[in-house]
Structure 1
């Protein structure tokens, strides 16, 4: 390089004209001819480069035969030294992630099987996984739970067969009073799961029924398969599922559609009247009851958020139409 010391910039602090590099070196009115003889001036906050001279000589490359002289340092005497060496040797081996720890991380982060594979690949690239960890082992992590479920020959209906074993495999202590049965359908299947009372534990799948919708036969099949009357969980569901479980029709425009009271939908002032008599007895053929209820009345719980979302969805459909 033609200069020995490069341009040095420091913090100028408060702006002052005589200490500002831009204000001191005014370039207004310079052309290519005047710029040849223009020399930038140094200020306390900006030191222009210094060319090589006697005070700033060009450094020389040491010869191969020249001996290297290490620098010497003055250490404090042992009597004044504050450093006390320790006799404890710390281990240098890093902590490896085992297969059980990787599975636990995936459960806590609620990762799917494909996302767990991606996580394992990243940890493998960082050399954190143990040698016996399988990258694609998550693709079959449901195999240890398959023994707790039964399925039909058509492979359209599956339900559990050992509730105590399934709870123990998930690390939970089973108490029927602490769990709620939730039943709901999607476009492709009808599912039922157990929800913990305060949502601090993961939901436990109970059954799944494909190629069907919400009707009396599918509900009765689920209730019988999971042995509901042996556990008597509290039931959380929307109004359609509750009507099916209580023996009421879920299609058309029935006269008495509410499972709680005798609300008459044919009454002219039905929306002005607020107090309706409660349903005290259930008789087939009376007040739109078409079959025996599947669950007791005292086990029904209405999830407000789930029902509110359903009402908003129907309202949006009405606005679109």
Structure 2
């Protein structure tokens, strides 16, 4: 038997099994996935396909030149007009992305940073990636600039729901900026009547008459189309909770001072927390042990709202569930004020 194996291995017609296997070649789709996973720069994205083609690891129909202008098929749906780049054909863009566009399934998110002003369509439920439809590195957050953005993307045609922070919403609703007396876009909530905060629930509905109640311009969007980002509300509630505890230097506030040693005293007293820090407090069992009975009821209500009402995969809630949360929070706030 050993002689037979030796004879086969020295046979002139013998071919090892490894040499019978053909190399697996990349298709265009597989190559696109590889380029995306490697996160190659624009300058190097064409080098990898070129090298693979030299050693015959690409299918015959794979085009290396495809990566010279990777966004060429999408560029036709965008227009650059002065400082603003915007989408000129929403329906065509979604058709190219093999997606169906329905205004009720998407919301328009507008925000700005020190570097840019951007508008992105976000899917309700976050099951699909966002689609950027406007961008500028020169425009700032002003009423005129936001009006220009909405006109460019033809907002009046689609009437998406609007999502943004309070500054963006205030500008879209034509409100005067700064610490004004009536800063709410829904009602005439008096920001200076601190004695009525958390006590008075029914405020007069706002009228959108230019020149009155700090309204400088006619609103660009309908009030019922405005949604506030859950993260902003969470951070503001956390800020209010910590600031209220800080006024009396309660045991809960002192626990946070010892927990976040890198935060300055000014930030702690003002309750300036970010999302990860808030989640750390949620997972800290020692923090809850330092709270009083009244603080604990308000804290549990806050946690319930964050976990069930504003969570990424939140479930439907009923009035019977969330109404006690408002009652506990209001009772605690009134006692502290």
Shared fold, TM over 0.5: yes
Query: How far 1:254 moved relative to its partner?
Result: 0.6
Partner in structure 1 of residue 45 of structure 2: 117
Unaligned runs of 5+ in 2: 6-19, 244-262, 271-337
Partner in structure 2 of residue 259 of structure 1: 185
Return the alpha-carbon distance in structure 2 between the equivalents of residues 292 and 179 of structure 1.
Answer: 25
Aligned-residue Cα RMSD (Å) equals 3.7
Return the alpha-carbon distance in structure 2 between the equivalents of residues 119 and 304 of structure 1.
Answer: 43
Query: How far 1:124 moved relative to its partner?
Result: 3.1
The 1:284/1:137 distance shift into structure 2, 3 A limit, reads same
Query: How far 1:215 moved relative to its partner?
Result: 0.9
Matched pairs, number: 232
Return the alpha-carbon distance in structure 2 between the equivalents of residues 110 and 181 of structure 1.
Answer: 31
Greater Cα offset, 137-146 or 225-234: 137-146
Question: Counterparts of 1:31-180 in structure 2 under 5 Å?
Answer: 70-71=2-3, 92-103=21-32, 111=39, 113-114=41-42, 117=45, 120=48, 124=52, 128-130=57-59, 133=62, 137-138=66-67, 140-152=69-81, 154=82, 156-180=83-107
Which of 202, 207, 211 is residue 138 of structure 2 equivalent to? 211
Partner in structure 2 of residue 25 of structure 1: none
Q: TM-score, normalised by structure 1?
A: 0.61
Partner in structure 2 of residue 289 of structure 1: 215
The 1:179/1:111 distance shift into structure 2, 3 A limit, reads farther
Query: How far 1:110 moved relative to its partner?
Result: 9.9
Query: How far 1:273 moved relative to its partner?
Result: 3.0
Q: Does residue 319 of the first structure (1) align with residue 257 of the second (2)?
A: no
The 1:280/1:106 distance shift into structure 2, 3 A limit, reads farther
Highest Rg: 1 or 2? 1
The 1:170/1:273 distance shift into structure 2, 3 A limit, reads same
Q: Does residue 269 of the first structure (1) align with residue 198 of the second (2)?
A: no
Return the alpha-carbon distance in structure 1 between the equivalents of residues 40 and 115 of structure 2.
Answer: 20
Query: How far 1:101 moved relative to its partner?
Result: 3.4
Query: How far 1:165 moved relative to its partner?
Result: 1.0
Any conservation in 2 of the 1:96–1:129 contact (CA below 8 Å)? Answer: yes
The 1:121/1:101 distance shift into structure 2, 3 A limit, reads closer
Unaligned runs of 5+ in 1: 1-68, 74-90
The 1:110/1:124 distance shift into structure 2, 3 A limit, reads closer
Return the alpha-carbon distance in structure 2 between the equivalents of residues 306 and 144 of structure 1.
Answer: 36
Return the alpha-carbon distance in structure 1 between the equivalents of residues 67 and 231 of structure 2.
Answer: 34
Question: Counterparts of 1:218-233 in structure 2 under 5 Å?
Answer: 218-233=145-160
Partner in structure 2 of residue 304 of structure 1: 230
The 1:131/1:210 distance shift into structure 2, 3 A limit, reads same
Return the alpha-carbon distance in structure 1 between the equivalents of residues 25 and 153 of structure 2.
Answer: 41
Return the alpha-carbon distance in structure 2 between the equivalents of residues 93 and 72 of structure 1.
Answer: 28
Any conservation in 1 of the 2:46–2:65 contact (CA below 8 Å)? Answer: no
The 1:263/1:280 distance shift into structure 2, 3 A limit, reads closer
* Cα deviation code 1:187-224 (max 9, x no counterpart): 11100011112222221111112212211011100111
Partner in structure 2 of residue 48 of structure 1: none
Q: TM-score, normalised by structure 2?
A: 0.58
Larger helix proportion of the pair: 2
Return the alpha-carbon distance in structure 2 between the equivalents of residues 235 and 113 of structure 1.
Answer: 34
The 1:286/1:112 distance shift into structure 2, 3 A limit, reads farther
Any conservation in 2 of the 1:123–1:129 contact (CA below 8 Å)? Answer: no
